[in-house]
Chains A and B, each alone.
Chain A
Amino acid sequence: MKPAPFALHLPGTVPQALQLLAGQPNARVIAGGQSLMPMLNMRLAMPDHLIDLNGVQGLAGIREDGGDIVLGAMTRQREIEFSDLVADKLPVMREAILNVGHRQTRNRGTIGGSLCHMDPSAELPTICALMDARMVIESARGRREVPAAEFAEGFMSTCIQPEELLTEVRIRPWAPGHGWRFLEFARRHGDFAVVSAAALVERGADGAIARAALVLGGVDAAPVRLPAAEALLAGSRGEDAALREAAELAGAGEALDDPAYPSWYRQRLARKLMYRAIAGALERCGAQPGRA
């Protein structure tokens, strides 16, 4: 399993990388390589040009900027795992990242790489959808911001054009004291999720749920937000009946079907996992999910 031939370019800056992207036909960028290299080794991807982002200055790092947490696209998953800023401000992302692959893949894998690969089961795209992240995409012609809801375009594809580069992911953290929970069903520790579910909740001063965000991974080509279920929860006090109804809605959407995991099974997982996700988030919110 050896890659087909390609030319390898090693730019040092973002403008150099963008120039290469614009100038080379059939070119791809390589970030951590944890998703792309297997495809190259199996000759499922055969670019003529590979642009290595690992030496590009200024693409990695986690910082605060005007109320956002900004993660450079080349930020290693390992850095996210050990970041105090992420643990503090984006705790659901930290919980999710512990499920991403293994130590060895997190040491090299990047958030940008995971997002651009857009595997239906991947945890980081799911979290970005949950948190309405904004993707900053640059090209030689300029820069644009795309909200997470518009980022994925289909099975393992995004809106990024051939001459464009994802440079940053911007996330507005939820207020301190919010509840959060990510969980997934995978066959083994570190495997891609068959289905994942994540929830963020915020209680108002009156104890009612003021805000909720719910997402499913692995049920469709891209992560699926659940606006109806979110609205339902946001009008409730988090009683068990509301959780069950929200979970039913989660399991009611269409789901991917494949020989290993048929759609009814993914729907079942969606229902069961979403219930647990909401319950877990509410617990962290300092309130008990209501029981009949």
Chain B
Amino acid sequence: MTQLPPASGLPQIGRRQPRIEDPRLLAGQGRYVSDVEPPGALHAAFVRSPHAHAAILSIDASRAREVPGVAAVLTAADLAARMPTLRMPLGFPTKALPPDITPYVLAPEEVCFVGEAVALVLATSRYAAEDGAAEVDVDYDPLPALSDCRQALDPDSPRVRREAPDNVLTRFEVEYGDCGQAFAGAAHVFKESLHQHRGGAHPMEGRGVVAEFDELRDTLTVWSSTQMAHELQFTLAEMLDIAETRVRVLAPDVGGGFGAKFLVYPEEIAVAAAALFLRKPVKWIEDRAEHFVSAIQERDQYWDVEIAVDGEARVLGIRGRMIHDQGAYTPQGINCPYNAATGVTGPYIVPAYRLEAYVAQTNKVYTIPVRGAGYPEGAFVMERLLDRVAAELGLDRAEVRLRNLVTPAKMPYVKPLKNRAGKPITLDSGDYPASQATVLQAIGYAGFAQRKAQARSEGRYIGIGLAHAVKGTGRGPFESGCVKISSTGRVSVATGAMAMGQGMHTAMAQIAAGELGVPVESVQVISGDTSFISMGIGGFASRQTVTAGSSVLLAARQVAGKARKVGAYLLQAGEDEVELRDGRVQVRGQPGRAMSFAQIARTLRGIPGYDLPPGAGAGLEATVYWEPDAMAYANACHACEVEVDVDTGGVSLLRYVAMQDCGTLINPLIVEGQIHGGIVHGIGNALFEYMRYDEYGQPLSTTFADYLLPTSTEIPPLELIFAHSPSATNPLGVKGVGEVGTIPVTSAIASAIDDALSDFGVRVQAIPVDPVRLAQQLEESRRKAA
């Protein structure tokens, strides 16, 4: 199914290597945070606000403390006595945002979303802790709550937080070219209003923290199911006023992240603080109900946009306004709306662009990027506009896209937009028209009209859709990779990259094993442990294969180089005469003349009184913090066939063809899995995942019975095709794959639904697509026709 990539010249790269992570996990020997339990641990349950907005008048925990099994109840007042501040630091700090916008470790005076934590109950079991939590008496004075982010723009709307001067957190503009002129001179202008609804990340494993202060080791050890171990370490040190050297963060096996764990949460600080202050281990394992209300979500976004085209359907300009629901607090900047705003033009040439973006606060849990990170939202806007142009001008949708895609001849194509680092967005490689041609061929686009007519004659409504996507991957500033060969000859890789199911260990092991000429299974990969490597950024934004992979490659090369140099020296041979083979440095063609890695490592450990080999330097190890200069742009083109039941409004997916160009593939097996997962996540966003709130900010979708994730029976076979335009931006030639599979999905499905309902003129303007809304649109169309 996967075409072999062009030979990258790197051993082990491109191999369908079964994962080294698997045997343990398959045998049920995985060690997730809920499997970590230090002896004597107290179990934690949070008391959470049932109100979307209220003042806290008082908290009475006296009855709770009497509940059998309850050891302690901590409130903001208890923590404030021992912490420099209760306010979380701003992740991704920026002066562009107002002050006092981050969440509190525990809410001291006011709660601003349902689920906000106000107290921590510690007991002998989670059962008893929940008993205790039920008895904590919080006297709330309900305040008006803001639920619809659009209302935030009304200066008279009730303040989401009493301290917030304005419900609009910030407003920014993304602009280039001359939209005024573009629109004035356009042959056609079309307007669209689009709504992309709130949704959650919902990894199958929720969040969790175990914290223990060990007097013997004078260390606060914190296990957390996190995507950012080092950031958590820094934040703990800062919030608890304890030296970083006395804080160790360990991410155990992480059961999925998808962005929900790429944040330092108040709960992590509260639990660690409790462990530190009470001098007892504390364990908090989030249950699903908590994930629904207090783990991050993504979106709502409301877009009012218009597109100007010439007579040939070439885009002249796009402009409009977007309102993004930030939630009640801002823990980590505004990457998601910024990405969405700058991601609209995607792989297309758009000469003029102006978007006014409002980041609006509401009395709901805060939002940060979930898989796709705003780019699916941007793509949806662009792709819907292009479909609209095609429909209005009576042109083929694929053709309209072709007329506007950046072509290879134009690459590297520098967009007048800047990414967050301030660098221009540069599409570095990829052949988007060829991607489209491949996909259309694979899905039989040319013959679809006939299939559609045939279905129509049977009373069935089927449609075909397509969409393009690009994703900048390998975001910096760096990732860390340390490759070490021990005195016993064992190869280990330590990295600040984080594992959450994406096979990162196997990929890093392949890279290192390839450079060192050892079996992949022999390489130990250590991640998520701040005591093994001092700096790291973490897992998000499809960055780790690019960044950590490059660091590990370069570090492994350094180690290989050292091994060759020192091995040659010890063997009294020339460096060009030796090769790395099976864990030894051997004179080529003379197996008898060899030095094991272990021997070389021992030599470089040093013997007191003796010099190291000249020019070698101590240790058979190297650490690299590779910094990308530019992002590596992966691209995708997806096409799908759907069937719509016009009676019920139900949508089923008949076929899904997905083409990706992710450059060099370290392990095609893993890449395919990432694309499968990314597509199905997109299908969830397109058809199922509706995080419903009422007008008072009360969450209505609070279980998996209400909030629907796709299951195996809703997914057709996913047909994957790969192209490989290696990226010159990193030594591996790779591009990230974690999200590019998600980005075009909502667009492709919306396009297909429009096509299925072309008889009725129904257009998808909101996702997730909802059978009720489709039925309503069909009903309206029927009335208009009558």
Contacts and interface: CB of A to CB of B under 8 A. Distances in A.
Given A2-B130, A260-B692, A272 B648 contact: yes
B650 interface: yes
13 contacts: A2-B126, A5-B131, A43-B134, A185-B650, A188-B688, A190-B711, A192-B705, A259-B692, A260-B690, A260-B692, A265-B776, A268-B779, A269-B647
Nearest to B713: A189
Interface residues of B, number: 29
Interface of A: 1-5, 38, 42-43, 185, 187-192, 259-262, 265, 268-269, 272-273
A188 B713 contact: yes
Q: Top 7 closest A-B pairs, CB basis?
A: A272-B647, A189-B713, A2-B127, A1-B287, A185-B648, A265-B772, A2-B130
B654 interface: no
Contacts of A38: 703
B287 A259 contact: no
A259 B700 contact: yes
B289 interface: yes
A140 B311 CA distance: 84
A103 to B, nearest CB: 12
Indicate the member of A4, A5, A265 with the most B CB atoms within 10 Å. A265
Contacts of B694: 259
A151 to B, nearest CB: 24
Given A187-B708, A188-B714, A259-B694, A268 B775 contact: yes
A187 B688 contact: yes
Contacts of B692: 259-260
A262 B700 contact: no
B514 interface: no
B549 to A, nearest CB: 37
Contacts of B89: none
Contacts of A2: 126-127, 130
A84 B692 CA distance: 43
Nearest to B706: A260
Contacts of B648: 185, 269, 272-273
A9 to B, nearest CB: 19
Nearest to A102: B711
B631 to A, nearest CB: 37
Contacts of A262: 772
Contacts of B690: 260
Contacts of A261: 772
Contact of A1 (B288, B711, B714, B776): B288
B255 interface: no
Contacts of B131: 4-5
Contact of A188 (B134, B287, B710, B776): B710
A258 B350 CA distance: 43
Contacts of B130: 1-2, 4, 43
A258 to B, nearest CB: 9
A187 B714 CA distance: 9
Interface string B676-688: 0000000000001
A252 B705 CA distance: 28
Nearest to A269: B648
Contacts of B775: 265, 268
Nearest to A258: B700
Interface string B431-461: 0000000000000000000000000000000
B777 to A, nearest CB: 12
Contacts of A273: 647-648
A122 B714 CA distance: 21
Given A2-B127, A272-B648, A189 B711 contact: yes
B203 to A, nearest CB: 17
Contacts of A191: 705, 708
Nearest to B646: A272
A2 B287 CA distance: 9
Indicate the member of A4, A187, A189, A190 with the most B CB atoms within 10 Å. A187
B650 A189 contact: no
Contacts of B776: 265
B18 to A, nearest CB: 28
Nearest to B701: A260
B245 to A, nearest CB: 38
Indicate the member of B289, B713, B772, B775 with the most A CB atoms within 10 Å. B772
A190 B134 CA distance: 34
Contacts of B289: 1, 42
A188 B708 contact: yes
Contacts of A4: 130-131, 134
Contacts of B771: 185, 187, 265
B198 to A, nearest CB: 14
A229 to B, nearest CB: 18
A190 B704 CA distance: 13
Contacts of A187: 650, 688, 708, 771
A123 to B, nearest CB: 15
B772 A260 contact: yes
B197 to A, nearest CB: 13
Contacts of A268: 647, 775, 779
Nearest to B127: A2
Interface string B684-727: 00001010101000001001011010110110000000000000
A273 B130 CA distance: 44
